Amino acid sequence: EKEEEAEEFDDFEDLQTGEKFAPSGEAEEVEDYIDDMLPAGMTDEEIRAYNAEKKASQKSAFDDDYDEEKKTNAKGALNENDEAVESDFMEGLKREKEARQKRNKEEFGDEGERSRIRHEG
């Protein structure tokens, strides 16, 4: 009955030490994991060169994707939906400004701006 209630868990990694634990509670060695990722028999300099090359290729791929995205979303390439959103936003700002001016006129009367400045200090 207790076996039915038992929950199953995936691997757990201690972020402070880097140790990984299997569901059985056994610790996996981080070095073994890292060694499995690198080609065997490499010197430190070769590992550095390998990692630098890998990083450069990933950066290049990211830059290409990012540049392509920028080209398709260029400022001059606004679609109709973007223009409608911008128009709605500007209309909202105009309405807010008119409402604020109306409140100021009601509050400060015909003297308007001078009275408001005198009141605010």
Per-residue confidence in pLDDT tens, the chain, 121 aa: 455 555 566 677 777 777 777 766 565 555 555 555 666 788 889 889 999 999 999 999 999 888 887 777 665 555 667 788 888 999 999 999 999 988 878 877 777 677 777 777 6
* DSSP conformational letter for 7: P
Helices (H), the chain: 2-5, 30-37, 44-72, 80-108, 113-120
Q: How far apart are CA 27 and CA 15, in angstroms?
A: 13
The confidence score (pLDDT) of residue 24 equals 64
Task: Give the pLDDT of residue 83.
Answer: 82
Report the C-alpha gap between 96 and 75 in whole angstroms.
Answer: 27
pTM of the shown model: 0.31
User: Smallest Cα–Cα separation from 53: which of 34, 32, 38, 35?
Assistant: 38
